[in-house]
Amino acid sequence: MQMCRLLSLLSAFTVLSSFLAIVDGCDIDESVCGAQAPGDVVIGIMLPSHGKVKAVHERITPENFDCSDFDLSSFVRSLAVMHEIEVINAAGILPGVRLGYLMCDTCSYPSRALQNVEHMLAINGSLDVKCNYSDFRPRVKVIIGARYSEVSISVARLLNVYMVPLLSSSSSSPALSDKLRFPVVIRTVPSDIHQTEALAKMMAYYQWNWVGVVYGDDDYGKAAFQSFLGDAEANDVCVAYQEVLPHYLDHSNSEERIKQAVQTIRSSNAQIVLLILKSELVKVLFKEMIKTNTSRVWISSDAWSRSSSIAQMDDINKVGDILGFTFVSSKSESFDNYLKNLTVTPGGYNHFIEKYKNLRFNCSSECFSSNPPSYCTDILRFKSHNACNFNDPQAQNDDYLVKSTDTSESYLHRVAVWAVANALRKLLKCNDSTCSGEINFPPWKLLRELKKVQFEFNNQKFFFDEHGDFVNGYDLIRWEKDGRRRRIQKIGIYHILDRKIELDVKETTWLLTDNTSTPQSRCSKSCSPGWVKKILNMSCCYNCTECVEGTYSDDKDLPNCKRCPKGTWSLKGWTKCKPRSEFFLRWSDPHPITIIAAAAFGFLLLMFTCIVFLVYRNSLPMKKAEVRLSCVMKAGLAVSFASVILFVGKPNVHLCRARQVMYAMGFTLCVSCILVKAYRTFLVFLPFGQITNRRLHRLYKPPVIVIVLTALQGIICLFWLIFDSPDIDDKPPSPQSMTKMIQCSEGKTYIGFGIMLSYIALLALVGFLLAFKGRKVPQEFSETGYIIFSMLMYLFVWVCFIPVYITSTEESTTVQPSAILVSSYGVIFCHFLPKCYEALWGSKTDTLESILRRWRVISSPSPETDKDTPTMNTVSENTSRVSVSSNSTVLRSSETLSVISPTDSEMAIIPMSKEKIHPYPLFTNHVTKLRNRHRSLSL
């Protein structure tokens, strides 16, 4: 009931307005709608042939609207609809049914458009008030228009009452896709939600993330701006500033607002400006930019992306580069010919064509004077004085419309007519010869068929989606320089379904940079791969930080570093992850080859010395060196050299255990033998009390000492293997390293490893101290110098080994075998090679007599000796040959030196523990006695 009352009031107001117009003598058809062609089914055309209504801000009475600024581009679009209607009629698409049209000028103003709707839907000059309009049958069945979204939104609200379809080919506001609010609206263009997404993706493609936006305060501008904000954020594009302009030029403060927007554009460092404005506002804005000599990269919305009036502006090249998206377009040769031979449809009238021809071909001298009247404004826009023709202007034609406008932009208006024709063909049940359906049908039936229609036009398939929109994509265009003007060039396509930009022109010359390099517009410099953004106050303003170890970034301006997949790693600032390389001593690497060669050479030296020792076993140097004890030492060193080879190759738990045990047992055996040698010298030549000497002599059992000392090392290794066994090191690699160390861990606590090394070091230290005590004993009687040097070398090497092993994780695998080699070679060079030299090339005259003579000279504190005192020298002088029996001894101090030959195969210096010990030294300044114990020296 409430709805009926409202409709009654609306209808009464409409009837009253029509009545008043008639009373005033106004012809509605002539004043409201300027073009008409009769037909069985009439299509309404509601497009602006004028750009604005004069003095709209001063309007206070409901008088008729006075339009100005003839809009040539929109006029051509309306002509395209008329032409396509004539083409369909001529083609017989609807047999027996003729399409007519009623063209009304909206003057780009919503209120004027509502007036047009009232006239189009009026029956007998009025609108009847009804509660149910299901059977409402106006003469206009469908309206094609309007051009601007704001006008379409206003008109659609009224058409919702009557369910008359509104088919737009340029209104792209996202609001019109809402079928709850605008069920009658269908469009042959995509919604701006796709256009703003395309704009944001284009900015991201050119790496522009710092842009300014200027939009109008109408429904179209506000909706498009809100849609762009969401798409910009999704593509990491930030809005540096936003300026709102009055959508109508006659607004009281429009000039002030435009100048304010110009100042904001100039002061901002954003080089990219998106203009969501009508072409009239863009033109005024560009005039201000030209005055201030300011150039930018301008991104156009579909509202002005093909504006010929802007492209023809003076000094348009000074504003900079212009890019944008426009609806799909295509030229028609038939339509171009129609424009060149423009005539009114027979049986109808077209005041717009008449006005255009008057403006184009009718000349008035006063319009070319210094102060032309106001009505000359439109005339001067389309002609020069040279183009004047004083014949009948309605009979004149030329190709001005084809050359001065882009006729391809009316393509979707022609598609809209074909959509209506195909829907009518289905509704009217047409075949190739006739249409049997009812011609005077309610408009809602046509709306139902339009939403379901599918047809082909110019080899393209068209249909409406669930929102009543086409999704046929956009053309990416660029305004190229064409002399002092601009021409539109298509450089790519945006596919709505794929959401991708496809460029046809890869490189172009930019006016802003004057070369092919793309202008930059960023709040912060781009972060290169390997770095990521650290946001400051907004997503486009940031600092660049380097990715840490284990993370990477493989593209520019990523917000976060990516984690490396399992099994891979990266270092600081890397752009990708790689598997860590395994490190161990490979057989083919230089260092392991050197180690193996050194170990092999050590084996050869041992074999060589062993052969020499066996061949010359009866020589004096070999007898002093204890051949059997030396062979045991060589066996231990051979095991040590063998352990070095186990350090090469990829380790496993068995190799880790074997190499440490082999080294421990082998070198312990060698050092035990050296300790026995040092102990022997210590017992023979150093003074002790009689009781102590006897006890120490009892401990001298070389086989037992060697076996016990080596067995203790075996026990240490056994407990080490049981409680803290060596294993593969599972410690994670260093974050700063791309190398994974495959190496042995000498136990979790390293206690067993430390005790093992400490035990060998203890034996070496004891041997060193014993030898150091007997350092004054001549080398002919002992090997104290060799023992001291070899043990000192061993201790020095392993003292250096400990800190290097602890601090150098990556080199620890090579440190220990190197230390083993150095200490082993120290024993060879100190103990075996000198003896070999003596045996092979030593003096043959070194007898025991000469050795003892030299020892007397070294050990005597005074060069003078008691001539009455019997000395070794005295003995030797009376002797022509010295034969040493197996039990003969030479006494010095409290020790007893016995040079025995128990086996005839070797000479040994051993302590005599069972004889009576004399407290007197063998050589002193007061007394030097040589006494026989069991057997005398045979002279």
Which amino acid appears at position 586 of this protein? R
Give CA–CA dist 351/360, Å, rounded.
14
CB 414 within 8 A of CB 331: no
CB 767 within 8 A of CB 607: no
Q: What is the mean pLDDT of each run of 10 residues along the chain (939 residues)?
A: 41 37 42 85 93 80 84 91 95 94 91 90 82 91 91 93 94 90 94 91 90 90 90 90 83 82 92 91 91 92 87 90 91 92 90 87 63 59 60 81 88 95 95 91 95 91 91 90 88 89 84 88 87 82 90 88 90 90 83 89 89 82 77 89 88 88 90 84 63 68 88 92 85 81 82 88 85 65 71 82 71 78 86 81 54 52 38 33 30 34 36 37 31 30
Q: Residue 576 has what DSSP assignment?
A: S
State how far the Cα of 760 lies from the Cα of 675, in Å rounded to an integer.
11
For residue 218, the model assigns a pLDDT of 84
- Separation of alpha carbons 245 and 347, rounded Å: 44
Structure tokens that stand for 408 in this block: 């391809």
Nearest 5°: phi and psi at 145? 150, -175
What does the pLDDT read at residue 778? 57
Rounded to whole angstroms, the Cα distance separating 630 from 770 reads 18
Provide the β-strand partners of residue 67.
53
Question: E strand or H helix at 835, and its extent?
Answer: helix 833-841
Contact (Cβ atoms closer than 8 angstroms) between residue 555 and residue 607: no
What 8-state DSSP symbol labels residue 829?
Answer: I
Distance separating alpha carbons of residues 92 and 74, to the nearest angstrom: 28
Q: Identify any residues that bridge with 185 across adjacent strands, giving them in sequence order.
A: 166
**Alpha helices (H) along 341-410:** 351-361, 377-382, 400-404
Instruction: Give the residue from 514, 513, 535 showing the smallest Cα distance to 524.
Output: 535
